[in-house]
Structure 1
Amino acid sequence: MQLDNISFETAVQTRVDEMVDACTRCGKCVEACPSVKPAGLADTAPADIIGGILDILRDGQGPDASRKWAQACTLSGECITACDEGVNPRFLLAMARVATAKANHDLPARRRQGLEKYRDLGRDVSVLSQLQVNDEVLARLGQKSAAAAAPGEPPDFVFYTGCNVLKTPHIALLALDIMDTLGIGYQVMGGPSHCCGVVQMRPGDLEMSGRMGTNSIDKLSHSKSGEVISWCPSCYVQYTETTLPALERQRGARPFEMTPFMRFLGQRLDQLTPHLHEAVPMRVALHRHPGVAGVMEAATKILGAIPGITIVDLKQPALGLQGVNLSVLPEFKRELTLNELEAARNAGIDALVTVYHSEHRELCAHERDWPFRIVNLLELVGESMGLKRHDRYKELKMMQDADQIVADCADLLAHHAIDAAKARDVVIKGMLADQPLPLQAGERLT
């Protein structure tokens, strides 16, 4: 449905209102949610919790239990499949958080917070990526003006990195290497200049979120296929559940469809398999987050197609959109992480395999203390294909010393003209502090 001359916020609110009207308050979404128990809400009636969410969506006010549920959302997505009415409870919880922020803070305060978060993100992504790679590699990752310019001939696909995967550039580079080997034509876009708007939405600045997201969508909308391959799950949810539906209401059509990279690769498994010619004799376990439908299933299929790989089920719960989203329940997250590491040790695996970048950053330094490797899935795919990218992020983080890390990156610091004190601050706050479960030995620099 197209609504002529409406703002982004109005388009979003219209969709919220339709879902609020469709919701029957049955509580099935609450019953399915894995955050309810660790958030301390197990004794509250599910119908009361979702009913309070609807109240928050109407006027920004609601019971404590409902606000607590909204804040404890890890974006696992179980609520979506549990609903029989076509409502997306995950989207409603995001909008409830926006409504609460609007009720508690005026627009200038919300805008300042969004701007500060955006600047912090840009600083961390820029510095941590430049500590690891040179200008040529950054250009390949779409981070230089010449690489970001729209080509004369539209690409078959746009590969959208998002922002934070650039902190672990070896993962993004392996995705590009794999597509090159398969003969897939693409253009890379991403980084803070192609922000999805989630950083602005979280503090409740929906207008700026829409402005940033729509601007990026317009940049992404020029592939021959009409398909954008996305890496970041947070960006995927932001675009597919908020920005693209709102833009469709504003303009009458979606400019493209978005497909997560693992699903994209899984759909081409017959094309990929002949290139998996080197055996990788390892017993591995997959670190799983099910928030984007079909991604973990595709990852399992891809991993299982690598000759020599034996997949071990650690029988641990799979929760959240990605690792960072569990941070809203920090004690629960630490417990889950420790349980998985212990299960991996007891199972005698050779490697714990991550899919996304955020949990790779959080988990990789644990390799120092446990008898197995921490690797990304694309590293194993690449190894079988004869493709190699060094995990410099893990190498640096395992040093656990900001001064040593900065000294070890001195050549690239000079190359990029980055002040050593600035780099040290980013390393402390953006790398070493990104450690939800402390390492077993030694003290992190704070």
Structure 2
Amino acid sequence: MSTNLSFEAAIEMRVDEMVDACTRCGKCVEACPSVKPAGIADAAPQDVISGILDILSDGEGTEASRKWAQACTLSGECIRACDEGVNPRFLLAMTRVAMAKANHDLPTRRRQGLEKYRDLGRDVSMLSQLQLNDEVLERLGQKTAAAIVPSEPPDFVFYTGCNVLKTPHIALLALDIMDTLGVRYQVMGGPSHCCGVVQMRPGDLEMSGRMGTNSIEKLSQSKSGQVISWCPSCYVQYTETTLPALERQRGARPFEMTPFMRFLSERLDRLAPHLNQAVPMCVALHRHPGVAGIMEAAEKILIAVPGITLVDLKQPALGLQGVNLSVLPEFKRELTRNEFQAAREAGIDALVTVYHSEHRELCAHERDVPFRIVNLLELVGMSMGLKRHDRYKELKLMQDADQIVADCADLLAAHAIDAAKAREVVVKGMLADQPLPLRG
């Protein structure tokens, strides 16, 4: 392998290989749950995928093809449908990059990526600081802990990604569970360990590769050569874009990634003896199957908790995570309304989220529905005697930015955060993060 191969050139080679391998059969389009809500159900699947390949070859494509690329929720159904070993989800991501390149010059795209990265860093840092002191932030790999190199390499690196730090009780429960199981790990994550997806979305592949590769160097520290990942967006970005490009550049991958739910499910024999407190609840799982095996692992873990009765609401399971459905806002609202109605009719005690993004979006609905919104790790923690307070939900339920900022006054002072800036982030980054309006 040539070490002189650029990241962007490595990506382009991979795209070209998939374009050549694609038979234009259209099975990926037929399997995609976004086709109907995107308004392209009448387009011939073969024409839609042919248009995608045209865009990737510097063509215009068809209107239906462009709509399909923009409506991707990263459900992964297209990957499972392909018989040729092509990853249509990756090709759609690269189609969006090609479209961005056609619409904007590099300085504009770079500026857009930088602005998104700054916004992400601001929101993640401030919303986590509104809830946590320095000691707990360090435990999550923030503050000075991010620069500490352990004297002995850990067995695993636990990679949080960025946005789970807004709902830190979820990440802390993951650490508590691993501590109980005797897993040796080092925590890394946050904006200083960016996966590069924020830069890739506006079409800046070079900067995306630079950010992702820099983070990969930091993550390559475990004895096992394994990184346990929390965030599904980061997982897809690394495993489908950055790591394959790096492998093409260097001839090998520096590590493999395992999603936390699969990691925990694979150790259920070690987890089960610690699930010794009954949690008598009837629950339903809020499902997003974009990463293969995650929902199956989550269900396996959930039913291992004594006292849990799992109900199937028989609702569509779509997308990578809740936030990815935002490209189809009315469809997302319809799915949410239907799921809530099914949950009411089923009489469940709780709707259980797996990821952080839907927990952020849905948790404030707890005031309007006759069931709780909880994360799966909260139920596991209850059975293990582990407790982490969901401060994010407590704050969001207030539904008043001034009240939220006032309630966090001590931490604002401790972190030297300007109250007006905190209020701005609360309004845009917390209260506006809502798929359906709350009542009243």
What TM bracket, shorter-length normalisation? Answer: over 0.9
Partner of 1:264: 263
Partner of 2:298: 299
Q: 2:228 aligns to what SS in structure 1?
A: strand
Partner of 1:241: 240
Partner of 1:401: 400
Instruction: Please list, as runs of the form range in 1=range in 2, the aligned pairs for 1:46-125 lying within 5 A after superposition.
Output: 46-125=45-124
Q: 1:283 aligns to what SS in structure 2?
A: strand
Within 1, Cα distance between the matches of 2:177 and 2:22?
43
Partner of 1:331: 330
Partner of 2:42: 43
Instruction: Please list, as runs of the form range in 1=range in 2, the aligned pairs for 1:368-379 lying within 5 A after superposition.
Output: 368-379=367-378
Superposed CA RMSD: 0.6
Question: Which stretch shifts more, 390-399 or 54-63?
Answer: 54-63
Partner of 2:412: 413
Q: 2:57 aligns to what SS in structure 1?
A: helix
Q: CA deviation at 1:146?
A: 3.2
Within 1, Cα distance between the matches of 2:144 and 2:88?
39
Within 2, Cα distance between the matches of 1:210 and 1:67?
24
Within 2, Cα distance between the matches of 1:353 and 1:324?
16
Partner of 1:136: 135
Q: CA deviation at 1:145?
A: 2.1
Within 1, Cα distance between the matches of 2:84 and 2:234?
25
Q: 1:310 aligns to what SS in structure 2?
A: strand
Native 8 Å contact 1:148 1:189 kept in 2:
no
Partner of 2:250: 251
Native 8 Å contact 1:290 1:321 kept in 2:
yes
Q: CA deviation at 1:247?
A: 0.1
Native 8 Å contact 2:139 2:145 kept in 1:
no
Return 5+ residue gaps in structure 2 as ranges: none
Within 2, Cα distance between the matches of 1:307 and 1:275?
11
Question: Which stretch shifts more, 144-153 or 102-111?
Answer: 144-153
| Residue identity in the other structure for 1:171 | I
Partner of 1:225: 224
Q: 2:387 aligns to what SS in structure 1?
A: coil
Partner of 1:346: 345
Within 2, Cα distance between the matches of 1:62 and 1:402?
45
| Residue identity in the other structure for 1:163 | C
Q: 1:59 aligns to what SS in structure 2?
A: coil
| Residue identity in the other structure for 1:11 | A
1:318 aligned onto 2:317: yes
| Residue identity in the other structure for 1:289 | H
Question: Which stretch shifts more, 56-65 or 108-117?
Answer: 56-65
Question: Which stretch shifts more, 207-216 or 139-148?
Answer: 139-148
Within 2, Cα distance between the matches of 1:147 and 1:122?
15
Q: CA deviation at 1:60?
A: 4.9
Q: CA deviation at 1:4?
A: 3.7
Partner of 2:6: 7
1:331-355 alpha-carbon deviations (Å, 9 max, x no partner): 0000000100110011000000000
Q: CA deviation at 1:147?
A: 4.3
Within 1, Cα distance between the matches of 2:417 and 2:3?
47
| Residue identity in the other structure for 2:173 | L
Native 8 Å contact 1:4 1:250 kept in 2:
yes
Native 8 Å contact 1:55 1:62 kept in 2:
yes
1:155-178 alpha-carbon deviations (Å, 9 max, x no partner): 000000000000000000000000
Within 2, Cα distance between the matches of 1:146 and 1:79?
40
Within 2, Cα distance between the matches of 1:10 and 1:150?
33
Partner of 1:154: 153
Native 8 Å contact 1:140 1:147 kept in 2:
no
Q: CA deviation at 1:151?
A: 1.3
Within 2, Cα distance between the matches of 1:372 and 1:108?
48
Partner of 1:286: 285
Within 2, Cα distance between the matches of 1:170 and 1:314?
26
Native 8 Å contact 1:61 1:103 kept in 2:
no
Q: CA deviation at 1:239?
A: 0.1
Within 2, Cα distance between the matches of 1:291 and 1:438?
26
Native 8 Å contact 1:231 1:260 kept in 2:
yes
Question: Which stretch shifts more, 58-67 or 311-320?
Answer: 58-67
1:88-126 alpha-carbon deviations (Å, 9 max, x no partner): 000000000000000110000000000000000000000
Within 2, Cα distance between the matches of 1:56 and 1:418?
46
1:15-35 alpha-carbon deviations (Å, 9 max, x no partner): 000000000000000000000
Within 2, Cα distance between the matches of 1:4 and 1:389?
46
Q: CA deviation at 1:3?
A: 3.4
1:388-428 alpha-carbon deviations (Å, 9 max, x no partner): 00000000000000000000000000010000000000000
Within 2, Cα distance between the matches of 1:438 and 1:25?
41
| Residue identity in the other structure for 1:15 | R
The structure-2 alpha-carbon separation of the partners of 1:176 and 1:60, relative to structure 1 and needing over 3 Å to count, comes to: farther
Q: 1:159 aligns to what SS in structure 2?
A: strand
Q: 2:175 aligns to what SS in structure 1?
A: helix
Within 2, Cα distance between the matches of 1:263 and 1:61?
40
Within 2, Cα distance between the matches of 1:366 and 1:33?
29
Partner of 1:277: 276
Q: CA deviation at 1:61?
A: 2.0
Q: 1:259 aligns to what SS in structure 2?
A: strand
Q: CA deviation at 1:62?
A: 1.2
Q: 1:43 aligns to what SS in structure 2?
A: coil
1:135-164 alpha-carbon deviations (Å, 9 max, x no partner): 000000000223442212100000000000
